[in-house]
Structure 1
Amino acid sequence: MNKPLWLLLLLVGCGSEQKTSEGPPEFRVPVVVEAVAREALVDQLELIATLNAREKVIVMSEIDGMVREIGFAEGTHVTESQMLFRLDDSKIKADLVEAEANLKLAQLKYERGRKLLRDQTINQQDFDQLEAEFKASQARLDRAQEDLLDTEIKAPFAGNVGARLVSPGQFVTRGTAMTEIVDADSLLLECHVPERYLTVLQIGAPVSFHTVSFPERLFNASVTFVSPIIDPVNRTVMVKAGVANRDGALKPGMLGNVNLELARYPNALTIGEAALTFSRQGTAVMVVDEQDQVTSRSVEVGLRIRGRAQILNGLAEGDVVVVEGHQKLYPGAKITRVE
């Protein structure tokens, strides 16, 4: 064998011995980790609520009469005291003229009777009759004047007017519903809260909510009323929260998904909820040390909100825990951190 070939075989043999002496590579479990941090958490109760107008009224006629004029367009905004309907007033004006004449006559008789009574020309009973007729005439005049005013039906407050329920030329009677007005600038969010939360319900407490029509928009309100009565059937208490509806986006009758604030924790110790593991021994997490080795540690959990878990005991700020991949881990296992 020539010398170059002999040297080549020797080098190959030495390389094989060195490779077999290294042994198998160390196995590490790929996981996603997260550091324990502090953040603000708000404990909220989720409820379904209904939006109602703070002020709502059905406009009715106070007298009998025929509709002569309608002073609004359906669905528009009206101002306070704006004329909505005008009824025919011809008969009432005639009654008013008659009532004024009867009052003048009754007043003359009353004044004459008072002189006659002083002169003892008539007795007290006759004078009392004249006085009663005078007062009755005054009352009939007052009523005729009120009826004339009632021929013009006005908005009791500013708001949005609904559909008209009568038409021009239609005869209406006292108490006929003619339209509806709601004050949509100021709404009330009404919901029923389980009685166990009664102690945390306070006037002025903040409330946030979404609606089906605006799922991405967060609206704010504040508690204005907590009923003193608990419903005996479902054990809930009615709560109302005032909502400023300045842009008119919200409508009475809408449903709202409400978040009622129960407590606020401005400096809570938190981890991702996915880091928690559960067993008969309780709740635990896999903690990673500086050598990327894991140990199981029991923890006490408080709030669990939107994927975050509040840690009351067992961890410190800055501890590193496994949030993905801990299913394949065991105490003492080595990990590889992945993004």
Structure 2
Amino acid sequence: MKAVTWRAFGPAQDVLSVEDLPTPQPQAGEVLVKIAFSGVNPSDAKARSGARPGVTKPPFEMIVPHSDGAGVIEAVGESVDPARIGERVWIWNGQWQRPLGTCADYVALPAAQAVTLPNHVSFEEGAVMGIPGLTAAHTVFGGDDVTGQTVLVSGGGGAVGYLAVQLAVWGGAHVIATCGARDVERVKAAGARHVFDYASPTLASDILTATGGAGVNRSVEVELGANLALLAEVMAPLGTIAAYGSAKDMSPELPFGPILFKALKIDISLIYILPKVARDAAIARLHAALADGALSMEPPNVFGFEEAAAAHECVEAGGRKGAVLVAF
């Protein structure tokens, strides 16, 4: 099979290559998926470049990257229902703590990590369900029902934020979002009631005014460290900050006084290790929103497998619209 691989940290053009590898065989409890599209995420680029804190060498001798993907089950291992052969699926944690991910013609992985893809959902959309989709669903609904709540989505123009806006609107929340100036109109089109430029010097007062002074009940936060002071000001008492990133400040200072006297909860999510009950709930929310026509994806940026390095560079460059996918 054709597979994209890397064996050392470095720039995408220097370390990513295409190799012919043996097609994996599904072991007991596994399925073999013929990949249609492999989803590229910032975590994939960081892992390949060696940018993860404390990681000094690759975890495996050879790595086929990417955790997200979509395709069709072609074979099953012992104890897996043969009726799953031919099933359209999307994949989560394809390369989490494993050397062989989805950026190949085939991937073999535990059957539970290949989720039935609804017939009306395309493979391109399915390849976005793993990291962006599950992160958005869990950070919006991790506290259960958001009907009537005010939800603030930080970075509403990003891959997770754009989905989170739509999911929160579908869930009955009053949605406020922040984003860069160029993304304001598209985030409004996604359903946010109020959208503010995150660079605005009056951002805190703008958010509070939009809530009628009541504050935000739940925040979906992509940059926890950079926004802690803002959140301490705009959150309502007993609110929850659902954080999934803090790239700009990985060692933030906590303004404990304001957070204490509002009794705010900081709920940090790492989607790779989400417990089964929470993951199943997030999957159910995603599928329900898709069935209701409430969740739409922007046209993806699609690269051939020979262009995997360019796909990684597209992710690293930032400022894009739509997912980045590698086609097989």
Q: Same fold (TM over 0.5)?
A: no
Higher helix share: 2
Based on CA coordinates, which of the two structures has the bigger radius of gyration? 1
Higher strand share: 1
TM norm structure 1? 0.20
